[in-house]
């Protein structure tokens, strides 16, 4: 009885699992087909004459490498900034007593309630006035500090033993030194999780980069893909090749780091 049940479970999971990955497989297969084959009726499954022409064309037309670089620059800068400032302020909020501590903490937390859309219009007007449209700073600034990051690091810092910090103080270490040589090594796991989550959500950001970039060279990868696909309307052999270029590297990184990524995103569920 148990065996039959198990068999049924695996059959269901297998069918659904194939359905879940199928869109990716179909994207990849379509990317290797010729324009004639992609419109064949009935459709072919495996490409009859696999071609790299679509990829060659996409790489020659779009600025894909540049968009990759832009996305990487923005996501890395944002991740580094979030990691540094979240741990600095998280540390102060967890381990120091000072007037206004609670007020500041609650103030920071409450910003999580405000949806992004309520801020983009003022941000854009400010960027126009400060000439930040179409610059890296303009794309990156909304993410440089994260309320969720501050919250996460504070919760983690609370678990650090006070005795350890006081011992370092008695030894004559400065506060900055304590932070970098005692505190940071102890919170590395939380920091890694925060970094992975920050990188992923920034890598996928679309609305703000779309608004704040205007020249092709400054677009991030998702915005670049959108503009590229918009030009080629219904030529899905090109669009699927371009999508593959965007999707596959991310999937490979995911397979390599999946344990950390899944735990990071699970934790980040606390966001929003």
Partner 1 sequence: MILPKSSIGRKKMAWAYAFVAPVALFFLLVNILPMFWNFSLSLQHYNLLSQEKVFVGLANYRELIRDPVFIQSLINTLILAATVVPVSLVLSLAFALLLNEARRGVGLFRTIFFAPVITSIVAVGYIWSWLYQPHFGLFNQMLIGLGLPTSAFLKDPDVAIFAIAAVRIWKELGFQIVIFLAGLQTIPEQFSEAAKVDGAGPCQRFFYVTLPLLNPTVVFLAVIGLIRVLQTFALIYVMTEAGGPLNRTRTLVYGIEETAFRMYRMGYGASETIVLFLFILAVTLLQIKVLSRRIEY
Interaction of residue 21 with partner 1, rule CB under 8 A:
yes
- CA atoms of 154 and 175, how far apart (whole Å): 17
Instruction: Provide, rounded to whole angstroms, the least separation between the CB of residue 21 and partner 1.
Output: 6
Which span sits near partner 1 by CB under 8 A: 36-44, 46-54, 56-64, 187-195? 36-44
For partner 1, the binding residues in 113-172 under the rule CB under 8 A are: 114-126, 128, 141-142, 144-145, 147, 150
User: What's 32's DSSP letter?
Assistant: T
Q: Is 194 exposed, middle or buried (0-12, 13-18, 19+ CB in 10 A)?
A: buried
For partner 1, the binding residues in 70-109 under the rule CB under 8 A are: 85-86, 88-89, 91-93, 96-99, 101, 104, 107-108
Contacts of 261 (CB under 8 A, 6+ apart): 196, 200, 254
- CA atoms of 98 and 92, how far apart (whole Å): 9
For partner 1, the binding residues in 216-235 under the rule CB under 8 A are: 221-223, 225-226, 229, 234
Instruction: Provide, rounded to whole angstroms, the least separation between the CB of residue 194 and partner 1.
Output: 14
Rounded alpha-carbon distances, angstroms, from residue 1 to 4, 7, 10, 157, 242: 5, 10, 14, 50, 49
Nearest Cα residue to 34 out of 16, 13, 64, 55: 55
One of 162, 163, 171, 272 touching partner 1 (CB under 8 A): 272
> In degrees rounded to 5, what are phi and psi of residue 164?
-60, -45
Instruction: Provide, rounded to whole angstroms, the least separation between the CB of residue 41 and partner 1.
Output: 7
Rank residues 52 and 125 by Cβ distance to partner 1 and give the closer one. Answer: 125
Instruction: Provide, rounded to whole angstroms, the least separation between the CB of residue 49 and partner 1.
Output: 18
Rank residues 156 and 179 by Cβ distance to partner 1 and give the closer one. Answer: 179
Which span sits near partner 1 by CB under 8 A: 59-67, 132-140, 174-182, 184-192? 174-182
Is the distance from CB of 134 to CB of 212 less than 8 angstroms? yes
Rank residues 76 and 85 by Cβ distance to partner 1 and give the closer one. Answer: 85
Interaction of residue 185 with partner 1, rule CB under 8 A:
no
Query: Longest Cα pair distance anywhere in the chain, in angstroms?
Result: 79
* Cis, peptide link before residue 211, omega less than 30° from 0: no
Instruction: Provide, rounded to whole angstroms, the least separation between the CB of residue 219 and partner 1.
Output: 11
Interaction of residue 9 with partner 1, rule CB under 8 A:
yes
One of 1, 3, 4, 5 touching partner 1 (CB under 8 A): 5
Interaction of residue 35 with partner 1, rule CB under 8 A:
no
Is the distance from CB of 82 to CB of 147 less than 8 angstroms? no
């Amino acid at each position: 009885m148990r065996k039959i049940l198990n068999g049924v479970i695996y059959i269901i999971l297998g069918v659904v699992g194939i359905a879940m990955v199928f869109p990716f497989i179909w994207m990849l297969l379509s990317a290797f087909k010729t324009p004639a084959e992609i419109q064949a009726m009935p459709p072919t499954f495996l490409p009859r004459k696999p071609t790299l022409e679509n990829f060659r064309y996409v790489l020659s037309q779009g600025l894909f490498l540049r968009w990759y670089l832009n996305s990487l620059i923005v996501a890395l800068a944002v991740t580094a900034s979030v990691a540094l400032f979240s741990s600095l302020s998280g540390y102060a909020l967890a381990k120091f007593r000072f007037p206004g501590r609670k007020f500041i903490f609650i103030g920071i937390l409450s910003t999580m309630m405000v949806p992004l859309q309520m801020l983009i219009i003022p941000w854009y007007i400010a960027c126009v006035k400060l000439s930040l449209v179409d610059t890296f700073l303009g794309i990156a600034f909304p993410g440089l500090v994260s309320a969720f990051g501050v919250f996460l690091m504070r919760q983690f810092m609370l678990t650090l033993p006070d005795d350890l910090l006081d011992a370092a103080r008695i030894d004559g270490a400065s506060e900055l030194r304590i932070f970098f040589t005692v505190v940071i090594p102890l919170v590395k796991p939380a920091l890694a999780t925060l970094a992975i989550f920050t990188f992923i959500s920034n890598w996928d950001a679309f609305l703000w980069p779309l608004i704040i970039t205007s020249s092709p060279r400054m677009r991030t990868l998702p915005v670049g893909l959108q503009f590229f696909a918009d030009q080629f309307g219904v030529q899905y052999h090109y669009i699927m090749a371009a999508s593959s270029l965007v999707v596959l590297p991310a999937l490979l990184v995911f397979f390599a780091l999946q344990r950390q990524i899944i735990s990071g995103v699970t934790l980040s569920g606390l966001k929003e």
